[in-house]
Amino acid sequence: MIEKEDLDVVSVCTPNYLHADCAIRAADAGCHLLCEKPVALSMKEAAAMAAALRRNRVRMMTGFTHRFLAGNEKAKELLDAGAIGRPFMIRIALRTRVRSPDGR
């Protein structure tokens, strides 16, 4: 598909051991990336991916959407402002409330 289509973005959601190869091939084709975690299985793979991104001037985002939750964004804002000091450990439990079809 990379060779036959003019793609802007590729979503890498293959088995973990294939992430690096797929990401590097997509970057070399000039595609931006969304890569599921773990991004790579080793630092060597991650470094090769980073080099491909730099070489091709493309960007990659890791598929960790929790970073955009309001509470997490507020925590980042407070950290950046120096309002809560420097954390040394963070423990998070995320639970969502499942609603019935009638809204309860």
Question: Which CATH number covers residue 48?
Answer: 3.40.50.720
DSSP output for 19-39: HHHHHHHHHHTT-EEEEPSSS
DSSP 4: T
Single pTM value for the model: 0.69
- The mean per-residue pLDDT over the stretch 2-17 comes to 93
**Structural domain includes residue 101:** no
Residue 20 lies in a domain: yes
Query: How far is the C-alpha of 88 from the C-alpha of 35, rounded, in Å?
Result: 27
Structural domain contains residue 48: yes
Boundaries of domain holding 25: 9-62
Number of domain units in the chain: 1
Is residue 16 assigned to a domain? Answer: yes
* 27-85 pLDDT tens trace: 999 999 999 999 999 999 999 999 999 999 999 999 887 778 888 899 899 999 999 88
CA angle 56, 46, 38 (to 5 degrees): 115
